[in-house]
Amino acid sequence: MFEDAQALLWPSFFVFATCILLEWIVSRAKGISLYEGKDVLCNLGIFVGARVSQPLFVGYTFYCLKFLESVRPWELPNTIATTVVAVVLTDLAYYWEHRLSHTTRVLWFFHEVHHSSRSFNLTTSFRLHWLGRLVAPLIFAPLILLGFSANQVVLFLFANLIYQFFLHTKLVGKLGWLEGIVNTPSAHRVHHARNKIYLDKNFGGILMLWDRLFGTYQAEVEEPEFGVLGKFRSNNPFTVQFHKVPGYSALAGHMQQVVRFCKGS
């Protein structure tokens, strides 16, 4: 199944590009300003960096979980029933990883990148920290110890993240009875919003049932304002990734001075 996850990469890239183009065309036709040039270039730059590092971190996560397979006390049979349970429990583990990424300072260091854009469109889904998967083996280790395979967990986590790409849009309104059951664009707009009522809500990947169960669900009731709290704004991929690293701001300032000097000479 690890090979299956890798095989999904190129088809998903084609689907992503097609959907982004369609969202841009529809938003222009409706006179809705969704895409800002510098923001999109920043998101695409981060996406390229993520694709370069992805094989390393997917492999790191997979082989850490694979190691646990060799020391776990038992293995569950690979049946339709256990596969369904694996999908649900992988989503539950993702919920807690996501929630901890908002409520734990160390993990927020990585996850803040995803919330740093003031825009909200399909390219926003690419705005992820390049080192953000460092803690993934710890979060998903319990699933391996329960008897599920690393192949299953990595594949279903990858499918979970692909599903979430389609949630980053303003063009899709509320989806009726599905709201509060599965993750929808409306629910995910709430998650990305900096409105006080929306802070630290809707952590689910595919299911919103976890948010209902653990008291973190919030329906969309007012216009979301996107971005992180505070004044931080940048469309430089490296600044977005590393602005919280001590000394980075000073280094970036020196580099800008060098660039200005070179342009003036």
Question: How many Å is the Cα radius of gyration of the chain?
Answer: 20
Q: pLDDT value at position 16?
A: 93
User: Do 186 and 258 have their domain in common?
Assistant: no
User: Do 77 and 138 have their domain in common?
Assistant: yes
Q: pLDDT value at position 175?
A: 97
User: Do 138 and 195 have their domain in common?
Assistant: yes
CA distance 24 to 38: 15
User: Do 101 and 180 have their domain in common?
Assistant: yes
Q: pLDDT value at position 154?
A: 86
User: Do 94 and 17 have their domain in common?
Assistant: yes
Which parts of the chain sit beneath pLDDT 50? 1, 254, 258-259, 261
User: Do 50 and 14 have their domain in common?
Assistant: yes
Q: pLDDT value at position 244?
A: 79
Q: pLDDT value at position 96?
A: 96
User: Do 251 and 207 have their domain in common?
Assistant: no
Question: Dihedrals φ, ψ of 117, to 5°?
Answer: -85, 140
- Range of 245's domain? 237-265
Question: Dihedrals φ, ψ of 193, to 5°?
Answer: -80, 150
Q: pLDDT value at position 259?
A: 45
CA distance 107 to 101: 5
CA 103 from chain centre, in angstroms, equals 16
Q: pLDDT value at position 42?
A: 95
Q: pLDDT value at position 225?
A: 96
Burial class for 18, CB neighbours closer than 10 Å (0-12, 13-18, 19+): exposed
Q: pLDDT value at position 5?
A: 53
**What is 142-162 written as a DSSP string?**
HHHHTT--HHHHHHHHHHHHH
Neighbours of 150 (CB within 10 A): 22
Domain tally, the chain:
2
User: Do 30 and 155 have their domain in common?
Assistant: yes
